[in-house]
Amino acid sequence: MTEGFWNKDWQELCFAVVGIGLIGGSYVKALRKLKVKRIIGIDRDEAVLRQAKAQGLLDAALTGGDSTLIEADVIICALYPDAVESFVRENVGFFKPGVLLTDVAGVKGALPERVQALLAPGMEFISGHPMAGRQSSGFAMSDAAIFQGANYIVVPDKHNTEAAISWLERLAAALGCRHTVRVTPAEHDSIIAYTSNLPHAAAVALINSQSYNGKTPYFVAGSFRDATRVADINPDLWTLLFLSNKEAVADKIDEYIRQLELWRDALRSGDGQQLREMMCSAAARRKELY
């Protein structure tokens, strides 16, 4: 990052957002509320770009990278994980010296290291993950309020400066995020396997159970709705996320199976004390979460 970048007001900065879907569109709307100097939107879908432009959200709309990117102080890649590296490789020649790049990818792996290796000296890529989303996808579902009260995970590596990391944390706060947490890529992927990947897999498995039949819809109340809410899933994105984090997800599934086995064994042996202890433990942990 160029010297003094992190001391500038939002109104002095130009942002480029790549991918104007649910999260990218929400960034654009939140950045407009911050009154940033200029917003460049990049998306392959011309209809989405026209819609965003008509709403006054974009100052420039591109279907691909070009020399316009030299204006951007910050580039936010709201893309699938494998597309982030491709975008940087194809467009790094257009980037401003000292640019800061970040992403929203749900799996990190070696992505931070690979992207940083593509950048010129002075440019920084700091991987990030706003813990914000909705069941549906697409620009039409985007909302600046999606960041309000959310947590923001910052995944720096050895190449990042403290000034750049702190600046990204300040941006998260300005968007409305309540907490920022710094973790390594390995920590991120292990924890997200538990808090995001596993619940999605469990919801899909619950809906796909052979117990489901024609009468099931008449027996559904709040608990089943809550437990299966995320089963209506984007299969292309989530196949990529699951396979990109497959070992961690498989480990969490093994741990979950062990918990279910405790339940099965306690039920079959009539061990009410074991059932009560498991439920009390879970209730205490749930209260800690919220």
Does the pTM surpass 0.95? The reply is: no
Taking each helix axis from N to C terminus, what angle separates 185-192 and 246-269, rounded to the nearest 10 degrees? 40
Tokens at 186, concatenated:
């390995």
| CATH number reported for the structural domain that contains residue 270 in this entry | 1.10.3660.10
Q: Indicate the average pLDDT of the chain.
A: 94
Q: Which of 183, 216, 237 is the last residue of a domain?
A: 183
The total of structural domains in the chain comes to 2
Question: Are residues 179 and 218 both part of a single domain?
Answer: no
Q: Flag whether pLDDT at 4 surpasses 80.
A: no
Instruction: Look up the domain containing 273 and give its range.
Output: 188-289
Nearest-angstrom CA–CA distance, 199 and 115: 29
Cα–chain-centroid distance for residue 214?
36
Question: Are residues 119 and 22 both part of a single domain?
Answer: yes
Sort strands 124-131 and 151-155 into parallel, antiparallel or unpaired.
antiparallel
Q: Which of 154, 183, 212 is the last residue of a domain?
A: 183
Question: Are residues 54 and 77 both part of a single domain?
Answer: yes
Q: Which of 165, 183, 201 is the last residue of a domain?
A: 183
Question: Are residues 167 and 193 both part of a single domain?
Answer: no
Confidence grade of residue 2 (pLDDT, cut at 50, 70, 90): very low
For residue range 42-80, list pLDDT tens digits in order.
999 999 999 999 999 999 999 999 999 999 999 999 998
pLDDT at 101: 97
